[in-house]
Copies of this chain bind each other. A is one copy, B any other.
Amino acid sequence: MPELRKDPIVDRWVIIAKDRANRPQEIATTSQTTSSAPCPFCEGNEAETPGELLAFRSTGSIADGPGWRVRVVPNKFPALKPTGDTQQTSDGFYESHSGIGAHEVIIETPRHRISASELSEDNLREVLRAYRERLIERRKDRRLAYGVVFKNVGGAAGASIEHTHSQLIATPIVPPAVCAELQASLARFRERGRCVYCQLIDQERAAGRIVHDESSFIAFCPFASRSPYETWILPTAHASRYEAISDGDVTALAQTLKRVIGKIEQALGHPAYNYVLHTSPFHTPELDHYHWRIEIIPRVTELAGFEWGTGYYINPVPPEEAASMLREVEAEVAETQSLPARETG
């Protein structure tokens, strides 16, 4: 069973997950690399994954067979596992927690595509709906505190399988980065009586770091971008919890996400990238001080010793310049990027 361990001095948690060591390293070095091994995520290869937890499929098709559009399965090499008791151990010096949780894979399309920008808006809308459904489902488990949805594209972004997919990891402890955001945003709310992220939207508009601002979602390169072309997408109306997103907003988000990723890929030549959904913990009410968002991080610089040792980041591209460039470039049309469906088996 995996184990969560806290550093005995600072507030840093590590998941010790031996099973992950067995993961096949089908690492793509760029988002354009293809591999010749059969892809476990392509339609027809459903037997290569654990049984599905959710699928949007055509009428009459059968679970764990072909006929799906979006399919959610347990990760075969999970960082955390849903069975077992919540156990916290402390000997007064070292603190650990049993690795209870969930680790799911959202397979975004039955065809062998590499990036979310290659999906149709309809397809991407179902992916975003799947995030919502799975967060709602995992939230029912009172042992779990938080669900993080994220996406790795390309080997440099930590992807071990090329076929476009997202992941959901539900954890028994609210992650340190989210705790820091919740605490800081609460303090700011108490000072000013307003959500600091709502204020951020106004400030970023005034500062000219906007990438896209045409619907109920806004995209900008934040003032303190850690990475060149880092881009955040937020709902313009206050909302602390992704799971509460309406179907209408799912459509608008799918449009914005596809367009913004397309622009980043056009500007940087299809880099490896991550995106991460930051949302409220499972068991809090709707929060006036917190605001959900998606952070997109192109992985074009390596974290070196300085970043590891200090918590500082070095970014050679001012976000004003990145935003200006992203405003100008047109997202590539998905069709020109599509690859033929790969032979399966």
Q: Using CB atoms and an 8 Å cutoff, list the residues of chain A in contact with chain B.
A: 5-21, 23, 79, 93-94, 148, 150-152, 155-159, 167, 169, 171, 175-178, 180-181, 184-185, 188, 196-197, 199-200, 203, 207, 222-226, 274-278, 295, 297, 301-319
Taking a contact as CB atoms under 8 Å apart, the answer to whether A313 and B152 are in contact is no
Task: For A173, give the chain B residue with the smallest CB separation.
Answer: B312
Taking a contact as CB atoms under 8 Å apart, the answer to whether B303 and A303 are in contact is yes
Task: For A175, give the chain B residue with the smallest CB separation.
Answer: B310
Distance between A210 CB and nearest chain B CB, rounded to angstroms = 15
Task: For A321, give the chain B residue with the smallest CB separation.
Answer: B18
Chain B residues near A148: list those with CB within 8 A. Answer: 306, 309-310
Distance between A272 CB and nearest chain B CB, rounded to angstroms = 9
Taking a contact as CB atoms under 8 Å apart, the answer to whether A297 and B306 are in contact is no
Chain B residues near A151: list those with CB within 8 A. Answer: 305
Identical chains bound together, number: 2
- A-B contacts, 22 of them at CB < 8 A, read A7-B222, A8-B203, A8-B223, A11-B180, A15-B313, A16-B316, A17-B316, A18-B318, A20-B314, A21-B316, A79-B314, A94-B223, A148-B309, A150-B305, A150-B306, A150-B309, A151-B305, A167-B306, A171-B312, A274-B304, A276-B309, A303-B303
Task: For A278, give the chain B residue with the smallest CB separation.
Answer: B309
Chain B residues near A226: list those with CB within 8 A. Answer: 12, 14
Q: Which 10 A-B pairs have the closest CB atoms?
A: A158-B304, A276-B309, A150-B305, A175-B310, A274-B305, A177-B311, A176-B311, A21-B316, A20-B316, A158-B302
Other A-B pairs, 19, CB within 8 Å; known A16-B318, A152-B304: A6-B224, A8-B200, A9-B181, A9-B184, A9-B197, A12-B224, A14-B315, A16-B319, A21-B317, A152-B305, A158-B303, A159-B304, A171-B312, A175-B312, A180-B311, A274-B309, A276-B306, A295-B308, A297-B308
Task: For A157, give the chain B residue with the smallest CB separation.
Answer: B304
Taking a contact as CB atoms under 8 Å apart, the answer to whether A184 and B10 are in contact is yes
Chain B residues near A188: list those with CB within 8 A. Answer: 9
Taking a contact as CB atoms under 8 Å apart, the answer to whether A15 and B158 are in contact is no
Taking a contact as CB atoms under 8 Å apart, the answer to whether A196 and B295 are in contact is no
Chain B residues near A315: list those with CB within 8 A. Answer: 14-17
Distance between A12 CB and nearest chain B CB, rounded to angstroms = 7
Q: A18-B316, A176-B311, A177-B309 are in contact. Are A223 and B150 (CB under 8 A)?
A: no
Distance between A113 CB and nearest chain B CB, rounded to angstroms = 18
Tell me the complex Cα distance, A93–B198, Å: 12
Max chain B Cβ within 10 angstroms of own Cβ: one of A7, A197, A222: A7
Taking a contact as CB atoms under 8 Å apart, the answer to whether A150 and B9 are in contact is no
